[in-house]
Amino acid sequence: MNPEEARWRELGLWPLWLPRQESALPRQEAPAQAAPELPLDQAGSAVSEDFVATAGWDELQTLVSQCTRCALHETRQQAVFGVGDRQARWMFVGEGPGAEEDQRGEPFVGAAGRLLDQMLRAVGLNRADDVYIANVVKCRPPQNRTPSDTECAACMPYLRRQIALIKPTLIVALGKVAAHALLDTDKTLGALRGKLHHWGDIPVIVTWHPAYLLRNPADKAKTWEDLCRARHLLASPCTPRDGSADTADT
């Protein structure tokens, strides 16, 4: 069995995803033994975190689209994977899809998304170039409630893999849920803003979620400060981790 076939068999998707040219393999090449057992999560999904951690883009997108790792899959119209430049230096991480994102399958396309686009333009960026946008949870929480810690934990392997594949130079955490998930902390957003954090070796800047800014426009100025700080970090040839230039608390 070739490695690709083995991976799809582990997902229980074989032969649905069998490439046409391989469907003619001699019968004796099909494995007689059962697919290896994978750890089951609470939702009964036979997809281990180890499997997600080695997935390529296409596999990862398929895994997310069919994911049942948490209860959010029951009410979604579709999972919202992420969008943008897969070699981006900038990665923006939000909370989860809203109603419009759930319908269209793209993150940040509602009113908050339009504000994010404005924020990007303000620092000379756009979502199609050098920017990748994803959320902590890929499925819409009902009534746009905040995703639970359990839901965030269930979905984090996908975001971890997206970050590992993109290898961004900088991550901007948009809002408390993203900051908490990325930094494994429960500090307030106010306490996290204005400091330099890290995801592994990747600098993380925390700022307000655009949806919050729609309700609290007075804080747009602080977000502007955060983005300028991020811009400065990215332009800087080296980013000290010892707090000599910024206060690193993670």
The site for ligand SF4 (CB under 6 A) is made up of 64, 67-70, 72-73, 79, 137-139, 151, 154-155
How near is the Cβ of 149 to ligand SF4 at its closest, in Å?
13
- Please, which residues have CB within 8 angstroms of residue 238's CB and are 6 or more apart in sequence? none
Angle of helix 220-235 versus helix 111-122 axis, rounded to 10: 50
Between 9 and 140, name the residue whose CB sits nearer to ligand SF4: 140
122-to-82, 88, 112, 126, 224 alpha-carbon distances in Å? 22, 18, 15, 9, 8
How near is the Cβ of 84 to ligand SF4 at its closest, in Å?
18
Unique residue bearing structure tokens 């609470």: 42
Between 1 and 38, name the residue whose CB sits nearer to ligand SF4: 38
Between 41 and 249, name the residue whose CB sits nearer to ligand SF4: 41
| H helix intervals, the chain | 3-10, 49-53, 57-65, 99-104, 111-122, 149-166, 176-183, 189-192, 210-215, 220-235
Unique residue bearing structure tokens 């983005």: 227
Instruction: Using alpha carbons, select from 197, 174, 194 the residue that is nearest to residue 185.
Output: 197
Between 131 and 155, name the residue whose CB sits nearer to ligand SF4: 155
How near is the Cβ of 194 to ligand SF4 at its closest, in Å?
30
Between 45 and 223, name the residue whose CB sits nearer to ligand SF4: 45
How near is the Cβ of 181 to ligand SF4 at its closest, in Å?
12
How near is the Cβ of 179 to ligand SF4 at its closest, in Å?
18
